[in-house]
Amino acid sequence: MSAAIEPFDAVDVIRTKRDGGAVGEAALRWMIDAYTRGYVSDAQMASFAMAILQRGMERDEIRVMTDAMIATGERMSFAALGKRTVDKHSTGGVGDKITLPLAPLVAVFGVAVPQLSGRGLGHTGGTLDKLESIPGWRAALSNDEMFAQMQSDVGAVICAAGSGLAPADKKLYALRDVTGTVEAIPLIASSIMSKKIAEGTDALVLDVKFGNGAFMQDIDRARELARTMVALGTDSGVATTALLTDMNTPLGLAIGNANEVRESVEILAGGGPADVRELTLALAREMLALAGQPDADVEAALDDGRAMDSWRAMIRAQDGDPDAALPTARETHIVRAAVDGVVTRMDALPFGIAAWRLGAGRARAEDPVIHAAGIDLAVKPGDRVSAGQALFTLSAEDDVRFARALQALDGAYEIGQAAPEIAPIVRERITA
């Protein structure tokens, strides 16, 4: 019996994009499907990804590619819930724990929040890694468990995405990581949005970060990525908006896993660092506006205990103990100010790398994280300090990790005499 004849040739598709042309819909859908089932080789897809990086894609091409990636797996629907669903996605940064207080806060208002999250890799932390600091908490839920939790009074769920959502993306993402094509905006946008659209949410808010600690360091490229993803969501019937947010300085005072959970609980108790509170409220307002509640008083829900009650219910629903002690590190090292002055700069990326070297992150997907490891900042840019005052504390299970972490932080912060200009954390709002 002869093998089925393929309708296209991968080399022709690669040449079309290499030469700056637009790949036709049928050919593009075939390319994604054929790669997922193994007919198109990794070498061929790597060449195609490089051509996309160099030549770009038209809006319609990105839409077709995203839809083709969705078609390789399952597509969920929350229509039977009987209430609006709204999700949030962040492009990642240093100290970005916003999902933790945000999901239960939005759920206070009767909106279902299906927050399918991931794990950290490199200097950016993973939401699931943070939550697994809580004794007993479980990231892996079946679709039935996820639906039941959202349909109940709990409303919010933060869990791992199932393997059935956009399997083409998982395969292509791993290839991009080793072929120097991670930065291609069409590939980033289709990767993120294929999973979010397949998830079946009614609405989506994107937190697209820019700055030295972000995936997109340049604000113009971050804006382009945001606009591309908003267009993809809109074209697919998902109400989508984006906020461009600053990631030049670590978000909040905690960088790690267990310590970021502690800081999130502070936010839910009505306290916590001002920047984390500000961004949590901004994203909550955006999510609830898309869910039809533009006048929801999210600030009151943080301050009167309703968000905390929602958090505790969400953690318990996934077998976690919200009252259990979180891990603490065996070893600490305090870095102190050498001179009097004002903190003028704290670059996010080196602090993220330092936390990673302390054990808070992973170099490979299969590596474990050390939940107690991380960095706690005592000051932020604009704060006045005296010589000898603590600037930040490194935490690790083994003090041999401190040397390489401190090496990463060499030149990462500065104490001067003039107070710096503090830029707003939310820079722009992007809509369809």
| Banded model confidence at residue 120, pLDDT cuts 50, 70, 90 | confident
Domains of the chain: 10-56 (no CATH), 79-324 (3.40.1030.10), 331-416 (3.90.1170.30)
Q: Which amino acid is it at 81? A: L
Taking the C-alpha atoms of residue 414 and residue 391, their distance in angstroms, rounded to an integer, is 11
Active site residues: 89, 169, 176, 191, 195
CA distance 352 to 250: 8
DSSP 181-242: -TT-HHHHHHHHHHHHHHHT-SEEEEEEEESTTSSB-SHHHHHHHHHHHHHHHHHTT-EEEE
Longest dimension (CA), the chain: 81
Phi-psi region of 90 (alpha: psi -120 to 50; beta: other; left: phi over 0): beta
Instruction: Give pLDDT tens digits for 39-84.
Output: 999 999 999 999 999 999 999 999 999 999 999 999 999 989 999 9
pLDDT per residue as tens digits for the range 313-322? 999 999 999 9
Q: What does the radius of gyration of the chain's CA atoms come to, in whole angstroms?
A: 22
Total-model pTM: 0.94
Kindly report the average pLDDT of the chain as a whole number: 94
pLDDT band at 2 (very low <50, low <70, confident <90, very high): very low
Summarize pLDDT for 152-208 with one digit per residue, the tens: 999 999 998 877 888 998 899 888 878 888 889 999 999 999 999 999 999 999 999
State the Cα–Cα distance between residues 126 and 92, nearest whole angstrom.
8
